[in-house]
Amino acid sequence: MPAKEKSIGMVWDSMVRIAICDDDEKSLNDLQCRINKILPNRVTVTAHNNPFSLVTYICDEMKGRIDAVYISIRLKGHNGIRVAQSILKEFPDIKIIFVSDDIENARDIFKVNPIYFITKPYNDDYLRDSLYKLVSMIDEEEVDLLTLGCADSRKGLTTIMTRNIYYIESQKRVINVHYFDSYGTYYSKLDDIEGRLRSNFVRTHQSYIVNIDKVKKITKEGVLLYGGKTIPISRSRYKAVTEIINRHLSYI
């Protein structure tokens, strides 16, 4: 069982978490300063001069809890597009913005579906536009909220950003809402919650609801989520669930 609930699923603040990666130290520092200047008091930026540092930070330290990555296409001994692909393989909700002083390879960035592409040297107007687009996307996602009563009555009600939910599990008189590496326990019925969620959630089993955006693929054992957890699909729901999920995955 993962750790008890942490901030991953909760609405704590509106800080935008950004990681940037460029092996050119001057360009790296310049980008970090410009982002902080454009979004003062709304952004935290971590700078990395190599892909190993970036991936370690995102996967091991932050467990995917960042909003966006600004990454150079050309890195010494590495391809920024492939690095971005490896990050999205584990954390598909992270937004990617590519930066480059060479537009020759720009056609390859669409393998990753980035939200923006910026050329060097940096232009504040384009950088500002990319950041405003990022913030707009995040704010839109955070509008979709779910309010539940905590199993610990002393904590009252809790508001959850549904985009951070991986799956919801019913256990006797309580439900467990699971995030990437944590969970929260609440008093509610799965039937009631199902009716309050958008169409990107699907009931796979009498005891489980899954966020389709977190589905990696369907296997013989059930629904495989990013992060490695497999959720069972009941026989009676198998056909409908697989059709819904496959339709969703075909659009990605």
Residue 7 structural domain:
3-142
Claim to verify: residue 211 and residue 228 sit in the same structural domain: yes
CATH of the domain at 126: 3.40.50.2300
Q: Which of 112, 142, 172 is the last residue of a domain?
A: 142
Claim to verify: residue 156 and residue 97 sit in the same structural domain: no
Claim to verify: residue 154 and residue 136 sit in the same structural domain: no
* C-beta of residue 20 within 8 angstroms of C-beta of residue 68: no
Measured CA to CA, the distance from residue 161 to residue 131 in angstroms comes to: 21
Claim to verify: residue 179 and residue 98 sit in the same structural domain: no
Residue with tokens 């001057």: 26
Claim to verify: residue 65 and residue 163 sit in the same structural domain: no
Claim to verify: residue 177 and residue 219 sit in the same structural domain: yes
Q: Two tokens at 65?
A: 């809890």
pTM exceeds 0.75: no
Claim to verify: residue 72 and residue 195 sit in the same structural domain: no
CATH of the domain at 179: 2.40.50.1020
Q: What pLDDT is recorded for position 181?
A: 79
Question: What are the two backbone dihedrals, phi and then psi, of residue 163, each rounded to the nearest 5 degrees?
Answer: -65, -20
Claim to verify: residue 174 and residue 136 sit in the same structural domain: no
Claim to verify: residue 152 and residue 128 sit in the same structural domain: no
Q: What pLDDT is recorded for position 10?
A: 39
Domain count, the chain: 2
C-alpha torsion angle, residues 124, 16, 13, 33 (rounded to 10): -50
Among 179, 200, 187, smallest CA distance to 154 is for: 187
Tens digit of each residue's pLDDT, the chain (252 residues): 454 444 334 333 468 999 999 999 999 999 999 999 999 988 999 999 999 999 999 988 988 889 999 999 989 889 999 999 999 988 888 999 999 987 776 777 888 889 999 999 999 999 999 999 999 888 777 667 788 888 776 667 888 888 889 999 999 889 999 988 788 999 888 999 998 888 889 999 999 999 998 998 899 899 999 888 999 999 999 999 999 998 887 755
Claim to verify: residue 10 and residue 119 sit in the same structural domain: yes
Q: What pLDDT is recorded for position 14?
A: 62
- Coil, strand or helix at 1: coil
